[in-house]
């Protein structure tokens, strides 16, 4: 997942200080040029009390910069208007990226208070700029003369995107509509905070405590040891604790022989935000849907999806539904076949029950072992985290000539972080990457890539290199064992690393166009194509080494992985597409009103024929992608991008060399370096020479 930082959505703490403003500025790390190695944020010097004054000063400075543009008596041109606006708000950006990223990865009560305080102020600040009539008038004056300005391609793209961003933010609205829009934006900013806060509380608020050895039946040794450490950390030494973090609940429902306990843990997972308590998200979903519809109507669209998709590759809801249905039909057919296989196993064992959703993981694993003689636990010893990390680095080295060198004594926002310098084949600096691997109560669930600094070219011509960060929630080290990953976690790391490369390899002039600042349904192409290399036998032999012996993964296991590679893809695809349909159904609503969230979700799933044994990957009340996470009317984008990435990887396969240097050079030059400097499909056509079809996606998933 690519995590966006929204200036319209968060930050502030009550700050009291008797020092003079001048002294306060000197003491605040945000007010000075970073003197850290590579100019990374000085995390070791930043205090929570620094955020509010930095935000306040950042907004003040940007307002002054906007006023300077507006009051300039010279005729508006590209330099004094478009570039000047592009480069405004440097301090505000600097504090925003640090605060919001730390809030996602290592929050606390103080940071949460800051967020609730500043969110409405940032929303007001953003709207005051985007709805500034005088500023928009100057931008429009430049835009109206675009054909006579002799701009280069990137300048023309910046002008186009700047003008469009103002229009899509309401610059053409009447004064009355602008006031309505401001109120809606402010309310939405607060909803995002509340939803995230509730979900984190719900995830942290449940623990399955086991105190009988017999209730651990079926669980692998490593899973049991991890649960014992979790219990010890919770002050329950001698017991075993399972949580709603993926590295805990997924192994339990996959291996536990105790069906009642599987049900208990699984239901706790899928009922998050739906417990009619202070952390319930159903009322928030109502507000999200109605406020987004109101905003869409203000902007002249009949639904939120129509508004969002007008600026995406998909263009409209009909195209999204069409794609989802094409994948859904073969996926649900395969899922029913998979269910029949599992039910046969239950019946053969004398189970005398019908499979439920909390049984799927357990019986799918049993069927896989029976069919392919492959157990996930057989693979874990070969997927030590350090080796997986170094394997992804090695792939980037073979494709693009990159080298990664770990840096010591760097400022960190959490002691578990790792930091690496990234250099190009010629020794020049590419950037810096932070890695943060393990779950903790202060971190959101999931995995994402973000930036602490975007790549851009400064006014004096310096190529400012990026600082990117990958945040994950992987299986922790247990006892004297290192962190041993599941293959799903391996794929997740390669996925986020692909986002990281997109950010690192950017070669753009303007920050707002650089790196991953592309449409939502294009941003997942660089991430998802990296997943293909993770499973290639040639690549597995580069990084899959037994953590104790150093033995390279045996060919026998690779063969089993390949044979089982398309196993359970009916389930995996179905649960995903179901969530994408759910997202679209909420956001294609055209009439405001009260929503019974659970009834709406059921109707949505019944409409597409989702079987009861599968739930959507994200139920409504913990669907962070669709509500606060920036993927509203956008969860489909993973599938849209999969059409692209399957076809793009075929470009390598067709040469007979998955590291073909000509293809890699073209992908880097036309996709990874270009950011949003042209229309996404044009960039793709420059790389591939043709538009992709859906067949490679279905083939990769074994659904043809």
For helices 597-608 and 282-298, the axis angle rounded to 10 degrees is 70
Q: How far apart are CA 311 and CA 217, in angstroms?
A: 52
pLDDT digits (tens, 9 = 90+) for 392-408: 999 999 999 999 999 99
pLDDT at 19: 35
Q: How far apart are alpha carbons 448 and 469 in whole angstroms?
A: 8
Selected catalytic residue, list 83, 104, 496, 673: 496
Could you report the per-residue pLDDT of 45-69, keeping only the tens digit for each?
A: 999 999 999 999 999 999 999 999 9
Predicted local distance difference test score (pLDDT) of residue 143: 98
* pLDDT score, position 24: 44
221 counts as catalytic: no
C-alpha to C-alpha distances, 269 to 248, 440, 515, nearest whole angstrom: 11, 17, 35
pLDDT at residue 26 in the model: 56
Q: What is the CATH number of domain 21-172?
A: 1.10.1370.40
- Nearest alpha-carbon partner for 380 in 292, 477, 473: 477
The predicted structure's pLDDT at residue 629: 84
What is the CATH T-level fold of the domain 282-374+570-635, as seen in this structure? Answer: 1.10.1370
> What percent of the chain is helix, strand and coil (3-state, nearest 5)?
60, 5, 35
Q: Tell me, what's the pLDDT at 376? A: 86
Which pLDDT tens digit goes with each residue over 216-255? Answer: 999 999 999 999 999 999 999 999 999 999 999 999 999 9
pLDDT recorded at residue 23: 41
Considering just the CA atoms, what is the radius of gyration of the chain in Å?
Answer: 25
429 by DSSP, 3-state: which?
Answer: strand
- In 3D space, the residue among 630, 417, 673, 414 whose CA is nearest the CA of residue 526 turns out to be 673
Instruction: Determine the Cα–Cα distance for residues 440 and 205; give it in Å rounded to an integer.
Output: 13
CB-based contacts of 676: which residues, under 8 Å, 6+ apart?
157, 161, 512, 513, 514, 517, 518, 519
Class for domain 381-563+638-700, per CATH?
mainly alpha
- Spatial distance between the Cα atoms of 516 and 91, rounded to a whole number of angstroms: 21
Query: For 629-677, what is the HEC assignment?
Result: CCCCCCCCHHHHHHHHHHHHHHHHHCCCCCCCHHHHHHHHHHHHCCCCC
> Structural domain boundaries of the chain?
21-172, 206-270, 282-374+570-635, 381-563+638-700
CA-to-CA distance for 446 and 131, rounded, in angstroms?
35
User: What 3-state class would DSSP assign to 137?
Assistant: helix
- How far is CA 297 from each of CA 128, 305, 588, rounded to the nearest angstrom? 20, 11, 12
**Cβ(241)–Cβ(269) under 8 Å?**
no
pLDDT at site 6: 41
pTM value is 0.95
- Are 282-374+570-635 and 381-563+638-700 in the same CATH fold? yes
Q: Is the four-CA dihedral 214, 220, 224, 230 of positive or negative sign?
A: negative
Write out residues in the chain with pLDDT < 70, as ranges: 3-26
User: Edge to edge, what strands does the sheet with 467-471 contain?
Assistant: 403-406, 418-423, 429-436, 467-471, 448-453
Q: At what angle do helices 133-144 and 51-71 cross, to 10 degrees?
A: 50
* pLDDT value at residue 111: 97
The pLDDT assigned to 12 comes to 27
DSSP H or E segment with residue 242: strand 240-242
């Amino acid at each position: 997942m690519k995590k966006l930082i929204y200036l319209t959505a968060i930050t502030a703490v009550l700050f009291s200080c008797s020092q003079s403003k001048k002294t306060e500025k000197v003491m605040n790390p945000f007010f000075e040029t970073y003197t850290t190695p590579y100019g990374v944020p000085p995390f070791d010097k930043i205090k929570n009390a620094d955020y509010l004054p930095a935000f306040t000063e950042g907004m003040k400075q940007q307002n002054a910069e906007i006023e300077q543009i507006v009051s300039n008596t010279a005729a508006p041109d590209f330099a004094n208007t478009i570039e000047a606006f592009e480069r405004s708000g440097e301090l505000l950006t600097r504090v925003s990226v640090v605060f919001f990223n730390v809030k996602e990865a290592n929050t606390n009560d103080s940071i949460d208070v800051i967020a609730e305080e500043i969110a409405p102020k940032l929303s007001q600040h953003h709207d005051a700029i985007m709805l500034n009539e005088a500023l928009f008038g100057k931008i429009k004056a430049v835009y109206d003369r675009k054909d006579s300005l002799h701009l280069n391609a990137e300048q023309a793209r910046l002008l186009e995107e700047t003008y469009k961003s103002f229009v899509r933010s309401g610059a053409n609205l009447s004064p009355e509509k602008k006031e309505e829009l401001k109120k809606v934006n402010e309310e939405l900013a607060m909803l995002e905070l509340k939803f995230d806060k509730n979900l984190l509380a719900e995830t942290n608020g449940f623990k399955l405590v086991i105190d009988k050895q017999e209730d651990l039946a079926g669980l692998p040794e490593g899973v049991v040891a991890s649960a014992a450490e979790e219990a010890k950390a919770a002050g329950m030494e001698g017991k075993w604790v399972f949580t709603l973090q993926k590295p805990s609940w997924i192994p339990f429902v996959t291996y536990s022989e105790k069906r009642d306990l599987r049900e208990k843990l699984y239901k706790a997972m899928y009922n998050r935000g739906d417990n009619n308590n202070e952390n319930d998200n159903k009322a928030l979903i109502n507000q999200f849907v109605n406020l987004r519809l109101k905003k869409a109507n203000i902007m002249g669209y009949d639904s939120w999806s129509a508004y969002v998709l007008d600026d995406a590759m998909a263009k409209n809801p009909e195209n999204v539904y069409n794609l989802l249905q094409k994948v859904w039909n073969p996926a649900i057919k395969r899922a029913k076949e998979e269910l029949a296989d599992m039910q046969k196993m239950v019946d053969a064992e004398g189970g005398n029950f019908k499979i439920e959703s909390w049984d799927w993981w357990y019986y799918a694993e049993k069927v896989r072992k029976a069919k392919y003689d492959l157990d996930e636990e057989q693979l874990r010893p070969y997927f030590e985290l350090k080796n997986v990390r170094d394997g992804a680095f090695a792939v980037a080295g073979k494709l693009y000539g990159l080298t990664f060198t770990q840096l010591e004594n760097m400022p960190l926002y959490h002691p578990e972080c790792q930091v690496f310098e990234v250099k190009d084949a010629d020794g020049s600096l590419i950037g810096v990457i932070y890695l943060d691997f393990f779950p903790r109560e202060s971190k959101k669930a999931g995995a994402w890539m973000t930036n602490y600094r975007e790549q851009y070219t400064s006014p004096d011509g310096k190529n400012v290199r990026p600082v990117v960060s990958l945040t994950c929630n992987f299986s922790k080290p247990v006892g004297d064992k290192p962190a041993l990953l599941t293959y799903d976690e391996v794929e997740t790391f390669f996925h986020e690393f692909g986002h990281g490369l997109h950010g690192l390899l950017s070669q753009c002039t303007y920050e707002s166009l650089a790196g991953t600042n592309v449409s939502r349904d294009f941003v997942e192409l660089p991430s998802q194509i990296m997943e293909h290399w993770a499973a290639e036998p040639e690549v597995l032999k580069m990084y899959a080494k037994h953590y104790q012996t150093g033995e390279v993964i045996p060919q026998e296991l690779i063969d089993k992985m390949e044979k089982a590679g398309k196993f359970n893809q009916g389930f995996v695809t179905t649960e995903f597409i179901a969530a994408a349909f759910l997202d679209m159904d909420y956001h294609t609503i055209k009439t405001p009103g009260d929503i019974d969230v659970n009834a709406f979700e059921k109707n949505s799933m019944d409409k597409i024929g989702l079987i009861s044994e599968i739930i959507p990957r994200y139920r409504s009340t913990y669907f962070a992608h669709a509500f606060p996470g920036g993927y509203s009317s956008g969860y489909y984008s993973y599938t849209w991008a999969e059409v692209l990435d399957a076809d793009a990887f075929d470009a390598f396969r067709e040469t007979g060399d998955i590291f073909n240097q000509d293809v890699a050079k073209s992908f880097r030059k036309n996709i990874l370096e270009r950011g949003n400097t042209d229309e996404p499909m044009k960039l793709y056509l420059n790389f591939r020479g043709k538009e992709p079809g859906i067949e490679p996606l279905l083939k990769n998933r074994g659904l043809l």
